[in-house]
Amino acid sequence: MRAWPYFRAIGEPGPVATAIDRIQSAENLDGVLQIALQEGLNPKRGFDLLLEHRGICPAIDYTLQCADRTRRIDFLRTLVRRLRSDLAANLNEAIAAIEGRVPGTASISDLIAGRDWLFEGGRFYIENSHLSSIIQASRELPDEETLRLTLDLLEYALRLAPLYHFPGEPPFENLYIDHAIYLRALVGDGIDDAISHFQEKLARGTRASAETLVSLLARLGRYEDALRVSLERLAGEGSRACPSAAELCQLSGDFKQLCELARKRGDFLAFTASLIQQGD
């Protein structure tokens, strides 16, 4: 039997994956994207081709629907950088038209500082639906570098006319304000204020509010507080965006609590495993 044709050895790309790396045109793009993305032979290059030839809107849609978390985050990183680059280019152009010179910086915060006139008359410089979609997806980003790039985008978003501050779902009703508070906490800014902000939203009783607080507390390493909220508000259940009580116990190394949770739920395997881990 022939070996899997696309890879010569584990981790070594085969001829098809390598060929996709060399593709520069949109010729037969549907087939290339099927092989690169859907069959997973070269997802990074496939996504780059999708973004280059089909545009940012289909790339956002594909990212949001991607079930593989590792790939989804890689794609999201690419989108954040692309959107920020496009925004910086458009702002530089707008500033040069008025001031007679290009500022020549990629920092959105620096470009808009002291230039309120950029936003007069409800002007905007990138598609607002693209901005809001990427901001909402950004909560999943694990790395500080890309989070800070997203916060740079948020500095721009917060300056937009109220017309473009789209309403969000609880607990992110004020889409840009709430996300700015959340993401700043993830990079170490205003942590206590962010926790208080999302604790107050628990009073509205939505599951999403509880999941957001649990996720935030877990990301900040406050596992005991996250576990308390999880048990009180979510019955210890998790979701794609929120760790379960059992996962929080694993993260914190609290195997005694994990054992107790397993006992209450009648989960013999988890109970036995947690006893073994306590012994270790």
Q: For residues 123 and 140, what is the distance between their CA atoms, to the nearest angstrom?
A: 29
Extract the runs of DSSP E, i.e. beta strands, from the chain: 7-9, 12-13
The DSSP bridge partners found for residue 174 are 167
For residue 252, give the nearest of 207, 209, 221, 278 by alpha carbon: 221
Q: What is the pLDDT of residue 171?
A: 96
Q: Is the pLDDT of residue 279 over 60?
A: no
Dihedrals phi, psi of 67, to nearest 5 degrees: -80, -25
130/22: higher pLDDT: 130
Q: For residues 153 and 118, what is the distance between their CA atoms, to the nearest angstrom?
A: 15
Q: What is the CA 192 to chain-centroid distance, rounded? A: 22
The token duo for 34 is 């099927």
Q: For residues 171 and 160, what is the distance between their CA atoms, to the nearest angstrom?
A: 21
The pairing of strands 12-13 and 7-9 is antiparallel
Domain-wise residue ranges, the chain: 209-280
The mean per-residue pLDDT over the stretch 232-251 comes to: 88
Most confident of 43-57, 138-152, 254-268: 138-152
The mean per-residue pLDDT over the stretch 186-205 comes to: 94
Contact at 8 Å (CB) between 175 and 136?
A: yes
The mean per-residue pLDDT over the stretch 132-149 comes to: 97
Q: For residues 51 and 86, what is the distance between their CA atoms, to the nearest angstrom?
A: 13
Other CB atoms within 10 A of residue 184 CB: 18
Contact at 8 Å (CB) between 183 and 147?
A: yes
Kindly state the percentage of the chain with pLDDT values over 90: 64
- Confidence class for position 223, pLDDT limits 50, 70, 90: very high
Q: What is the pLDDT of residue 1?
A: 28
pLDDT tens digits for range 71-104: 999 999 999 999 999 999 999 999 999 999 999 8
pLDDT tens digits for range 18-57: 555 555 545 668 888 888 888 878 899 889 999 999 999 9
